[in-house]
Amino acid sequence: MTRFILADLRRLWAGSLVVVLLVALATALSVSVILQERALRLGSARAADKFDLVIGAGGSETQLVLSSVFLHPSPLPLMPGEVLARLAADPRVDWAAPIGFGDSFSGYPIVGTTVMLANKLSGGFADGQVFAREGEAVIGSAVRLSLGDEIKPMHGVGEEGGETHTELVYHVAGRLRPTGTGWDRAILVPIQAVWHIHGLEAEEHAEGAEEAGHDHDHSGADHDAHDHHGKLDPDAALNETWTADAPGLPAILVKPQTIADAYKLRQDYRGGNTIAVFPGEVLTNLYATLGDAKQILVAVASGAQALVAASLVLVTVIHIGQRRRQIGALRAFGAPRGAIFGIVFLEFFFLVAIGIALGFALGYAAALALSGMFSQASGIAMPVGFAREDAGLAGVLLAFAATLAALPAVLAYRQSPAQALRA
């Protein structure tokens, strides 16, 4: 029977190829949606795990996390600099790192922060060392620069007509180890340098804090004030002792001493002119939205599979009608009905099973390509892989294929030799 089936498939190779491709494409659509959505969940969750608590000015919690954790460029309101001084002195805090945004270089975001965060972010350096002066920078693992290279910060993004700062050139002092987050594409510089380059002096801090309810440039200066650049010394030593007159800040990344401290700090800073969030908690709300989108995409994919299944049934019924004489001849030569059923069933099931297997491979390849593109753009590692529940999907598809294959087999089984030969 196997030799007969293979010979029959070789003879009808064109039709068999069409059946396999239809099934493969319909299956690949569903598989790629499932794998890509899972990769996005895992990648974003792992990126958020790097940061325990984020504190910012009142506003959107989602935007605070997207900007501070995933480095998504967007204006954030400022909170008073005294919040940083208070956190630095709090015994419940292991460390608190301010971050400032607004500048970029060759498409890479420049993030003003502290020596502490630069040391803690990836667990060490792949090359070089942390910045020690205002004119030094640390680059993420995916930044295409070398030690000693010059970085001329640009206000904003080049594609949006950003303005290059001429009063400072950073030099790369170290490269971080990979983190699998958007910070792999970031350039870290001293927050002190970011404040100075935007002309933020101590007497201006209070005014900036009072305006925390308005959208500002991420570096801590609004767009009108940006025309007045500050002066700085690239060789100046860093002073990371925070006082109440520190400039306004868009966000502070906090590492609590304990889990209990994290919840207490979150409660203490959720009110007034600040908000405190757990990044993972915010992502849960985003996942709910992604879940709804996934259901819609899966429904579309299922509809496509249903259309393909209907097309296959129609093609198979026509195919059986065209093979009535062959089936009748087999019956006339003594082939039992069970053998006819088995031949037709196995031929069709084999084609559909091949299509499902090819669809899983194509879906996996598509998800890998999409994840690679997203990772290159965002810096977030997107792990694509099959899970145990995917075996259930394969089982369901194979069961459906068996049911689909049984229809033409039953038609062939019920056909008598005389009817077939008269056709």
pLDDT digit string, tens, across residues 185-204: 999 999 988 888 866 654 34
Q: What is the pLDDT of residues 75-102, one digit of tens each?
A: 888 898 899 999 999 999 999 999 988 7
d(CA 65, CA 251): 9
pTM, entire model: 0.72
Q: What is the pLDDT of residues 354-388, one digit of tens each?
A: 888 999 999 999 999 998 888 877 778 888 888 88
d(CA 243, CA 228): 24
Q: Which amino acid is at 229?
A: H
* Domains held by the chain: number: 2
Q: What is the pLDDT of residues 393-405, one digit of tens each?
A: 888 888 888 887 7
Kindly state whether residues 17 and 158 are assigned to the same domain: no
For strands 136-139 and 187-190, give the pairing.
Answer: antiparallel
Mean pLDDT of 274-285: 88
- Which range among 174-178, 179-183, 325-329, 370-374 has the greatest average pLDDT? 174-178
Kindly state whether residues 209 and 169 are assigned to the same domain: yes
Query: Which residue(s) pair with 253 in the sheet?
Result: 54, 97
Kindly state whether residues 215 and 109 are assigned to the same domain: yes
Sign for the CA dihedral angle at 360, 366, 368, 374 comes to negative
Kindly state whether residues 126 and 261 are assigned to the same domain: yes
Name the token pair of 344: 């037709």
* Residue after which a domain boundary falls, among 243, 277, 311: 277
Kindly state whether residues 29 and 59 are assigned to the same domain: no
d(CA 168, CA 192): 13
Kindly state whether residues 33 and 81 are assigned to the same domain: no
Range of the domain at 231: 53-277
* Residue after which a domain boundary falls, among 277, 298, 313: 277
Q: Which residues contact 142 (CB under 8 A, 6 or more apart)?
A: 178, 184, 185, 379
Q: How confident is the model at residue 53 (pLDDT cuts 50, 70, 90)?
A: very high
Contact between 167 and 231 under an 8 Å Cβ cutoff? The reply is yes
Mean pLDDT of 405-423: 61
Kindly state whether residues 374 and 250 are assigned to the same domain: no
Mean pLDDT of 175-187: 91
Mean pLDDT of 263-288: 87
Name the token pair of 133: 């002066």
* Residue after which a domain boundary falls, among 236, 258, 277: 277
pLDDT of residue 258: 95
pLDDT of residue 45: 83
Kindly state whether residues 92 and 224 are assigned to the same domain: yes
Percent of the chain whose pLDDT exceeds 70: 73
Kindly state whether residues 158 and 240 are assigned to the same domain: yes
Mean pLDDT is lowest, of 55-59, 97-101, 231-235, 357-361, for 231-235
Q: Which amino acid is at 128?
A: G
Kindly state whether residues 122 and 270 are assigned to the same domain: yes
Kindly state whether residues 20 and 69 are assigned to the same domain: no
Q: How confident is the model at residue 30 (pLDDT cuts 50, 70, 90)?
A: confident
Angle in degrees, CA 345, 346, 349, rounded to 5: 85
End-to-end CA distance of the chain: give it in Å, rounded.
Answer: 25
Kindly state whether residues 176 and 198 are assigned to the same domain: yes
